[in-house]
Amino acid sequence: MTHLSGSSLYERIYAVIRQIPAGQVSTYGQIARIVGQGDARTVGYALAAVTEASGVPWQRVINSQGQISLRGAEGYSEQRTLLEAEGIQFDAQGRVDLKRFGWSGPGSEWLEAHGYDPLWFMKK
């Protein structure tokens, strides 16, 4: 079903992340605001649980400062490599310019089709 009650919170988070196009990035907080439940941490928790075969473009979610949030050096370089392969550029401080590569969010038709109210975003 298209309504929210059909899937778990994590599944709804993954659904939104799957809408991020290659070459663009979103933030933990932005995903949380779109889903309308949980917070930035919850999105981080959900991403920590994704598997390779899940089809979730996990690399396209970074923190609000434009930086990669993965802890270890291995994870950091993997995510950065994947993003650079999509054309994302990092500055000398390892930050992505969200004004330039930031995702504007799902289209209103997608929101409606998935049980969200497109107008809800106007009041935030």
Partner DNA sequence: CTTCTGACGAAAT
Partner DNA sequence: CATTTCGCCAGAA
Q: How far apart are CA 26 and CA 77, in angstroms?
A: 18
Interface residue with DNA, options 4, 15, 45, 102 (CB under 7 A): 45
13 and 60 Cβ atoms separated by less than 8 Å: no
Instruction: Kindly identify the residues of this chain, within the stretch 67-86, that bind DNA according to CB under 7 A.
Output: 69-71, 75
Kindly give, in sequence order, each residue whose CB lies less than 8 Å from that of residue 33, ignoring residues fewer than 6 positions away. Answer: 124
Q: How far apart are CA 62 and CA 82, in angstroms?
A: 13
Told to check if 9 binds DNA by CB under 7 A, we report yes
Interface residue with DNA, options 6, 18, 41, 112 (CB under 7 A): 41
Which range binds DNA by CB under 7 A, 34-42, 84-92, 104-112, 115-123? 34-42
Of 43, 41, 22, 21, give the one whose Cα is nearest residue 31: 43
Of 19, 24, 28, give the one whose Cα is nearest residue 87: 24
Told to check if 98 binds DNA by CB under 7 A, we report no
Site size for DNA, by CB under 7 A?
A: 28
Which range binds DNA by CB under 7 A, 26-34, 81-89, 99-107, 108-116? 26-34
In sequence order, the β-bridge partners of residue 25 are 102
Told to check if 102 binds DNA by CB under 7 A, we report no
Query: Interface with DNA by CB under 7 A: which residues?
Result: 8-10, 27-29, 37-45, 47-50, 58, 61, 63-65, 69-71, 75
